[in-house]
Amino acid sequence: MRKIRKIILHCSDSDLHEHDNIQVVRQWHLKRNWIDIGYHFFITKDGKVNRGRDIDTIGAHCARHNRDSIGICLSGRHQFTDDQFCSLRLLLLKLMMEYDLPKTAIHPHHRYNKKKSCPNYDVQEILDTL
Among all residues, which ones are annotated catalytic? 10, 39, 109, 116, 118
Find out whether 70 and 55 touch, Cβ atoms under 8 Å.
yes
Q: Which residues contact 97 (CB under 8 A, 6 or more apart)?
A: none
Whole-angstrom distance, CA of residue 63 vs CA of residue 80 = 25
* Residue 63 CA: distances (Å) to CA of 8, 48, 125: 11, 26, 25
Query: Three-state SS for 15?
Result: coil
Find out whether 102 and 96 touch, Cβ atoms under 8 Å.
yes
Query: Three-state SS for 112?
Result: coil
